[in-house]
Amino acid sequence: MSDRSGKFAGDDPFEIARAWLAEAEETEINDPNAMALATVDQSGLPNVRMVLLKSIGADSFVFYTNYESAKGAEIAASGKAALVLHWKSLRRQIRVRGTVTREDGPEADAYFASRSLKSRLGAWASKQSQPLGSRADLMAEVARVTAAKGPNPPRPAYWGGFRIAPVEIEFWADGAFRLHDRFVWRRETHENAWEITRLSP
Ligand SMILES: Cc1cc2nc3c(=O)[nH]c(=O)nc-3n(C[C@H](O)[C@H](O)[C@H](O)COP(=O)(O)O)c2cc1C
Ligand code: PXP
Note whether residue 109 is domain-resident: no
Ligand 1 atom closest to residue 39's alpha carbon, by position in its atom list? 26
Residue 72 shares a structural domain with residue 140: no
Contacts of 188 (CB under 8 A, 6+ apart): 167
Supply the range of the domain harboring residue 166: 6-104+157-199
Note whether residue 59 is domain-resident: yes
Distances (CA, A) of 71 to 99, 122, 129: 14, 18, 9
In angstroms, the CA 66 to CA 11 distance is: 34
Write out the chain in H/E/C secondary structure.
Answer: CCCCCHHHCCCCHHHHHHHHHHHHHHHCCCCCCEEEEEEECCCCCEEEEEEEEEEECCCCEEEEEECCCHHHHHHHHHCEEEEEEEECCCCEEEEEEEEEEEECCHHHHHHHHHCCHHHHHHHHHCCCCCCCCCHHHHHHHHHHHHHHHCCCCCCCCCEEEEEEEEEEEEEEECCHHHCCEEEEEECCCCCCCCEEEEECC
Residue 53 backbone dihedrals phi, psi, to 5 degrees: -75, 120
Strands 34-40 and 80-87: antiparallel
What ligand is nearest to the CA atom of residue 119?
2
Residue 129 shares a structural domain with residue 146: yes
Q: Are 160 and 54 in contact (CB under 8 A)?
A: no
Residue 25 shares a structural domain with residue 86: yes
Q: Which pLDDT tens digit goes with each residue over 21-45?
A: 999 999 999 999 999 999 999 999 9
Residue 76 shares a structural domain with residue 166: yes
1 pLDDT above the threshold of 50: no
So what's the pLDDT on residue 138? 98
Residue 195 shares a structural domain with residue 140: no
Q: Which pLDDT tens digit goes with each residue over 87-138?
A: 999 999 999 999 999 999 999 999 999 999 999 999 999 999 999 999 999 9
For residue 48, the Cα-to-chain-centroid distance in whole angstroms is: 11
Ligand 2 atom closest to residue 116's alpha carbon, by position in its atom list? 11
Is 120 labeled as catalytic in the residue annotation?
no
Residue 54 backbone dihedrals phi, psi, to 5 degrees: -105, -25
Instruction: Tell the residue nearest (CA) to atom 3 of ligand 2.
Output: 65
**CATH code of the domain containing 188:** 2.30.110.10
pLDDT mean over 16-25: 98
**Does 117 sit in the ligand 2 pocket, CB within 6 Å?**
no
How far, in Å, is the centroid of ligand 1 from the Cα of 164? 16
For residue 164, the cross-strand partners are 61, 100
Note whether residue 120 is domain-resident: yes
Ligand 2 atom closest to residue 115's alpha carbon, by position in its atom list? 9
Residue 139 shares a structural domain with residue 167: no
Sequence length of the chain is 201
Ligand 1 shell residues, CB under 6 Å: 31, 34, 47, 49-52, 63-66, 69-71, 128-129
Domain count, the chain: 2
So what's the pLDDT on residue 177? 98
For a mutational test of ligand 2's pocket, the pick from 54, 64, 112, 128, i.e. the residue with the most ligand atoms closer than 8 A to its C-beta, is 64
User: What is the average pLDDT score of the chain?
Assistant: 97
In angstroms, the CA 82 to CA 164 distance is: 8
Residue 63 shares a structural domain with residue 44: yes
**Does 115 sit in the ligand 2 pocket, CB within 6 Å?**
yes
Note whether residue 77 is domain-resident: yes
